[in-house]
Homo-oligomer: A and B are copies of this chain.
Amino acid sequence: MFTIGKLASLTSVSNDTLRYYEQEGLVEPAGKSPAGYRLYDKDSARRIHFIKHAQNCGFTLAEIRELLALRGRDNACCGDVRTRAIEKKLQIEHKIRAMKAMSKALDQLIAECANEAQPVKECTIIAALERATVAAPVQ
- A-side interface size class: 35 or more
Question: At the interface, yes or no: A129 with Cβ under 8 Å from chain B?
Answer: yes
- Nearest residue (CB) in B for A67 is B125
Question: At the interface, yes or no: A57 with Cβ under 8 Å from chain B?
Answer: yes
Whether A100 lies near B106 (C-beta < 8 A) is: no
A85 proximity list for chain B (CB < 8 A): 106, 109-110, 113
Interface SS of chain A: helix
Q: How far is the CB of A118 from chain B (nearest CB, A)?
A: 6
Question: At the interface, yes or no: A19 with Cβ under 8 Å from chain B?
Answer: no
A56, A99, A100, most chain B CB atoms within 10 A: A99
Whether B96 lies near A92 (C-beta < 8 A) is: no
Whether B98 lies near A96 (C-beta < 8 A) is: no
Contact of A49 among B46, B77, B78, B130 (CB under 8 A): B130
A46-B130, A53-B98, A130-B46 given; A71·B123 CB < 8 A:
yes
